[in-house]
């Protein structure tokens, strides 16, 4: 599985769990972008866990909340 984060239409972070490839920029550690990436990943993890706990079967993909980019 591959997780990609885009900001302003540009891929800024990625992780491929199969190939173990990463995409990042060390400059993000200084300008606060890395913290925003972590926050987005934490929010996504919370959302995924909530979706896992849904008590009904969904045949397909459910869009239960809007996604915003920052």
Whether residue 65 lies inside any domain: the answer is no
How far apart are alpha carbons 1 and 41 in whole angstroms?
15
Domain that holds residue 37: 2-45
Contact 16, 23 (CB under 8 A): no
Residue 7 lies in a domain: yes
* 8-45 pLDDT, tens digit each: 898 899 999 999 999 888 888 889 899 999 999 999 99
Residue 8 domain flag: yes
pLDDT bin (cut points 50, 70, 90) of residue 65 is: low
In this prediction, residue 28 carries a pLDDT of 85
Q: What pLDDT band is residue 54 in, cutting at 50, 70 and 90?
A: confident
- The residue whose two tokens read 């302003």 is 8
Q: Is 2's pLDDT higher than 90?
A: yes
Q: State the Cα–Cα distance between residues 67 and 5, nearest whole angstrom.
A: 12
- Say if residue 1's pLDDT is above 60: yes
For the record, the structure tokens of 48 come out as: 């995924």
| Whole-number CA gyration radius for the chain | 14
61 within domain boundaries: no
Three-state DSSP class for 9?
coil
């Amino acid at each position: 599985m591959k997780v990609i984060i885009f900001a302003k239409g540009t891929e800024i972070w990625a992780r491929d769990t199969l190939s173990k490839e990463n995409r990042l920029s060390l400059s993000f550690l200084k300008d606060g972008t890395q913290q925003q990436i972590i926050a987005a990943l934490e929010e996504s993890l919370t959302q995924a866990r909530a979706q896992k706990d849904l008590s009904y079967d969904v045949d397909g993909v459910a869009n239960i909340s809007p996604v915003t980019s920052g």
